Amino acid sequence: MLEVRNTGPNDTVLNLGIMLANGSRQYPAAITLVLTDAEGKGHRAELAEPPGVIGGRLDPFIVPLPSGASLKLPLHISKCFWYASGQLEDFEPDPKKHYTLQAQFTGKGVSQAEAGPDVAGIALMPYWTGEVVSNTVAIGPK
């Protein structure tokens, strides 16, 4: 489980990625996982990725986060798409091995072009921008 907390004094809005089909499918593409094995080799993953061809509506996946609030997202490592040097990697974490895991979030706003004419006002929201990295968590067999 990944918990995102607003520890700042101001309410904010997060742009977590994209939504398809009027929000029925949500992809937190702004969050990347970094899994490091015992030899120090890192593997990067996106929590989820939409199919290659999108035939309908595409919207920003935005979430309001008041000061002091948090949001929990499930982490399903088996459903991740792993990348090495920007290329899709054929990697499956070995449940018998130990790893460390970190999450990285890159916050950005939503432009008028991304918002679309029917929801143009979302481009004016106070998005949190920047990069943040989680604490490191050890995972693997007990």
Tell me the pLDDT tens digit for each residue of 52-84: 666 677 889 999 999 999 999 987 777 777 777
Q: What percent of the chain has pLDDT over 70?
A: 92
Report pTM.
Answer: 0.85
Q: Give residue limits of the domains in the chain.
A: 2-139
Give the per-residue SS3 of 68-135. Answer: CCEEEECCCHHHCEEEECCEECCCCCCCCCCEEEEEEEEECCCCHHHHCHHHHHHHHCCECCEEEECC
pLDDT band at residue 34 using 50, 70 and 90 as cut-offs: very high
Torsion of CA 8, 13, 18, 21, to 10 degrees: 140
pLDDT band at residue 137 using 50, 70 and 90 as cut-offs: very high
